[in-house]
C-alpha cells in the first residue's frame, strides 16, 4: 500500500497558502447552473475529485454514471436527474453502495420522480426514469441525517411546476449547509421563505450570475491544527472571507480556544499562536466535518474535550466514530462515549515516544486531520492519495510550510 512518511517538523516556515476552492460551493453552483441552462460563468471551481466528477457527469451522455465515492455528487445528481429528460443509473464505490439514500429517494418519488433500486433497497445504485408530473408540493424530510438530502430537494424546487415546501422533521443537523444552498439560490435569483420547520420555494426561474467560489474553510481547518500544534508558525491562508456562507468558518471561534488567533486581511487570514484552554466543549451538529481535526488537536495538546452532534459521522466516507477511536488510541488517547451522544477525548499523548502509522480508511479527512501531528513527531500516513477527494495539493502545501516528506 502507498504510504507517506512525515518527518518531525516542529517549526512551520512562514508562508502563504492558496487553499483549494470550496467543494460545497462548487458542487451547488454546478447544479444550479445546470438547472438554469448553463448560462452563468462559474469561476474558481474546486479542483477536488468530487467536483471534477460532478462536472464530468453533468456533461456525460451515458446512461450509467459512476460517482465513485462522492456523496454530495450522488445526492445532488439524484435530484437533478429526477427532474430531467433522460433515464440514468447512478452507482459508485462499494462504500458508496453502503451509504443510505432512501430518505432522498422516498421524497423524490413522492414529488413525482420514478426511482428504483438496482440491488439493495435504500442504497445505490439507483435507476432514475424521467419525471412525468408533480404529485405533491409539500413533503416531510428528517433533519438528523444528511443535510445534502434537503439541499438536493431545495435546488430543484424552483423548476418544479408547483414549487416545493420542505417540512423538516425533528432536530436539524448541518443547518449552515442548508443556509448555504438557499443563499446561493438567492444569488441566482430565487426567492424563498424559511419559517420554523418549513422551507418554501415557489416555481420561478434561475437567473444567470457570474459566481466566484470562495476558498474552502474545511481545508483551512487542517492549517489551524498545524499552527495549534507547531512550536512556531505564521501562516496566511488566501481567499477566505470572515463573513462566509460556509458553516466550517466555525473553525475560527473553535481554534481561538485551542491556541490559534485569526487576523483577517483583504486577501485572506493570518494564523498566529495564542494560549489555549485546558477543557473544551462543542456541539458539531452544524459542522461535523471539523470534528476529526478538533479531536486530534485536543488529543495532541492534552485538552480534555467533550463533543456532541457527531451522529452523522457514522455514514460518511467511513464510520468516522470508529476510525477516530482506533487511531486516537495509537496516540494514547481515549475517544469514548461517556453518555448518550457525548464523546470525550482524553489523552496521555507522549510526543515522539514511538513513530505512529495512521490508517486512513479511504477517508480524506482522516489523512488530513492526523497530518498536523508531524509538528510533534514523525509519523506515517497510509494511502495518502485519498486527499485528492477534496484537497489534491495538500501534501505539496505541507512541504511548502516546511514539513519534510518521503
User: Which active-site residues does the annotation give?
Assistant: 289
Grid coordinates representing 53 are 466528477
Q: Are 391 and 48 in contact (CB under 8 A)?
A: yes
Please state, as a whole number, how many other Cβ atoms lie within 10 Å of the Cβ of residue 86: 11
Phi-psi region of 16 (alpha: psi -120 to 50; beta: other; left: phi over 0): beta
Query: What's the rounded Cα separation, in Å, for the pair 93 and 50?
Result: 13
What sign does the dihedral 376-381-387-388 (CA atoms) show? positive
Cβ-Cβ contacts under 8 Å for 356 (sequence gap 6 or more):
330, 331, 373, 377, 379, 380
Please state, as a whole number, how many other Cβ atoms lie within 10 Å of the Cβ of residue 399: 14
Amino acid at each position: 500500500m502507498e504510504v507517506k512518511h512525515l518527518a518531525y517538523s516542529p517549526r512551520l516556515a512562514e508562508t502563504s497558502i492558496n487553499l483549494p476552492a470550496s467543494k460545497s460551493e462548487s458542487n451547488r453552483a454546478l447544479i444550479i447552473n445546470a438547472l438554469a441552462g448553463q448560462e452563468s460563468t462559474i469561476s474558481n471551481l474546486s479542483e477536488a475529485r468530487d467536483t471534477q466528477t460532478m462536472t464530468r457527469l453533468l456533461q456525460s451522455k451515458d446512461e450509467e454514471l459512476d460517482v465513485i465515492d462522492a456523496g454530495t455528487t450522488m445526492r445532488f445528481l439524484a435530484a437533478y436527474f429526477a427532474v430531467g429528460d433522460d433515464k440514468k443509473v447512478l452507482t459508485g464505490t462499494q462504500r458508496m453502495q453502503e451509504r443510505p439514500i432512501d430518505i432522498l429517494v422516498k421524497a423524490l418519488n413522492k414529488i413525482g420522480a420514478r426511482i428504483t433500486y438496482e440491488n439493495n433497497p435504500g442504497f445505490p445504485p439507483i435507476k432514475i426514469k424521467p419525471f412525468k408530473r408533480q404529485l405533491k408540493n409539500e413533503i416531510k424530510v428528517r433533519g438528523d441525517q444528511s443535510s445534502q438530502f434537503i439541499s438536493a430537494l431545495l435546488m430543484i424546487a424552483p423548476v418544479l411546476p408547483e414549487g416545493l415546501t420542505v417540512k423538516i422533521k425533528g432536530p436539524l443537523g448541518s443547518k449552515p449547509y442548508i443556509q448555504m444552498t438557499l443563499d446561493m439560490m438567492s444569488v441566482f435569483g430565487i426567492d424563498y421563505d424559511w419559517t420554523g420547520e418549513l422551507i418554501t420555494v415557489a416555481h420561478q426561474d434561475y437567473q444567470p450570475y457570474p459566481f466566484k467560489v470562495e476558498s474552502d474553510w474545511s481545508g483551512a481547518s487542517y492549517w489551524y491544527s498545524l499552527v495549534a500544534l507547531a512550536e512556531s508558525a505564521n501562516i496566511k491562508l488566501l481567499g477566505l472571507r470572515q463573513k462566509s456562507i460556509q458553516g466550517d468558518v466555525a473553525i475560527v471561534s473553535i481554534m481561538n480556544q485551542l491556541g490559534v488567533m485569526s487576523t483577517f486581511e483583504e486577501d485572506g487570514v493570518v494564523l498566529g499562536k495564542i494560549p489555549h484552554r485546558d477543557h473544551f466543549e462543542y456541539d458539531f451538529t452544524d459542522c461535523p466535518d471539523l470534528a476529526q481535526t478538533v479531536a486530534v488537536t485536543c488529543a495532541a495538546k492534552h485538552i480534555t474535550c467533550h463533543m456532541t452532534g457527531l451522529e452523522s459521522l457514522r455514514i460518511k466516507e467511513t464510520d468516522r466514530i470508529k476510525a477516530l477511536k482506533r487511531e486516537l488510541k495509537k496516540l494514547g488517547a481515549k475517544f469514548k462515549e461517556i453518555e448518550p451522544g457525548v464523546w470525550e477525548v482524553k489523552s496521555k499523548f507522549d510526543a515522539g515516544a514511538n513513530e505512529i502509522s495512521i490508517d486512513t480508511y479511504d477517508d480524506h479527512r482522516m489523512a488530513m486531520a492526523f497530518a498536523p501531528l508531524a509538528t510533534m513527531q514523525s509519523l506515517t500516513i497510509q494511502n495518502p492519495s485519498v486527499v485528492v477527494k477534496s484537497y489534491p495539493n495538500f501534501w505539496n502545501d505541507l512541504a511548502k510550510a516546511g514539513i519534510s516528506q518521503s
